[in-house]
Amino acid sequence: MMKKIIIVMTVVALIVGTGHHVRAETRLPLSLDELETVRNNCVGAQSILYRIHANDGVLRVNLKRRYDSIATKLMAPLNSRMTLNRLDATKLVATTADYERELDNFRQLYQSYEETISQAIFFHCKSQPADFYDIVTGARDKRMAVDRSVKQLNSIIRQYAGAVKELEDSLDKRLQERS
């Protein structure tokens, strides 16, 4: 995923040369040379964005399946089993709630990114190069937010695994005490 972020940032850098890398609301207007560079390179940039978008779609489907599977086939059943056996599942349930919130965040962030990159791909970049630049910059920012969300989900998964390990150790200790 980071490789693709680097590609998008490279595309943006190629489009604007030494342009200002800030949001549209606060950036200085692009110079005439920068606008011309964007205009001359935008169709090629759109082609690269299209390939990134296609690859991201596959990655998103695979990630979504993996993350949904973790929630429905691991976390929910284990939490239920713990509760049914009257074991303390507080940590697991709290971690699962964090995971579900972040998974919802991931879905929203990805949807926003997907809409923005699609807009960039089909934008009339030759006639409005400054707006195209702003859209690509926005897509890059949104893609980085998706990447942060993926990292957060992975961190929560590790946290859940740690809680499961603690539970396992606790149960092993109980069994040894009974022996």
What DSSP line would sit under 80-91, residue for residue?
HHHHHTT---HH
If one compares 19 and 58, the residue with the highest pLDDT of the two is 58
Q: Model pTM?
A: 0.78
pLDDT tens digits along 154-175? 999 999 999 999 988 888 888 8
For 23, the token pair is 């949001």
21 located within any domain: no
91 located within any domain: yes
26 located within any domain: no
24 located within any domain: no
102 located within any domain: yes
Q: Let me know: does 8 contact 143? Beta carbons within 8 Å.
A: yes
- CA separation for the pair 117, 115 (Å, rounded): 6
CA atoms within 13 A on the CB side of 6: 3
Contacts of 15 (CB under 8 A, 6+ apart): 37, 38, 41, 42, 45, 132, 133, 136
Alpha-carbon dihedral sign for residues 143, 145, 148, 152? negative
Range of the domain at 7: 2-12+32-178
How would residue 110 be classed by pLDDT, with cut points 50, 70 and 90? very high
**pLDDT in the model for residue 175:** 83
pLDDT tens digits along 119-143? 999 999 999 999 999 999 999 999 9
Region of residue 86 (phi > 0: left; psi between -120 and 50: alpha; otherwise: beta): left
Q: Taking residues 78-84, report their average pLDDT.
A: 93
Q: Is 93 helix (H, G, I), strand (E, B) or coil?
A: helix
20 located within any domain: no
How would residue 18 be classed by pLDDT, with cut points 50, 70 and 90? very low
Q: Taking residues 53-81, report their average pLDDT.
A: 94
| Total domains present in the chain | 1
For 30, the token pair is 């692009």
Q: Taking residues 24-44, report their average pLDDT.
A: 83
**pLDDT in the model for residue 29:** 83
Weakest mean pLDDT among 4-8, 116-120, 141-145: 4-8
Q: Taking residues 88-115, report their average pLDDT.
A: 96
**pLDDT in the model for residue 19:** 36
Q: Taking residues 1-17, report their average pLDDT.
A: 41
Q: What is the mean pLDDT of the chain?
A: 86
17 located within any domain: no
**pLDDT in the model for residue 179:** 74
Cα distances from 139 to residues 95, 148, 156, in angstroms, run: 30, 14, 26
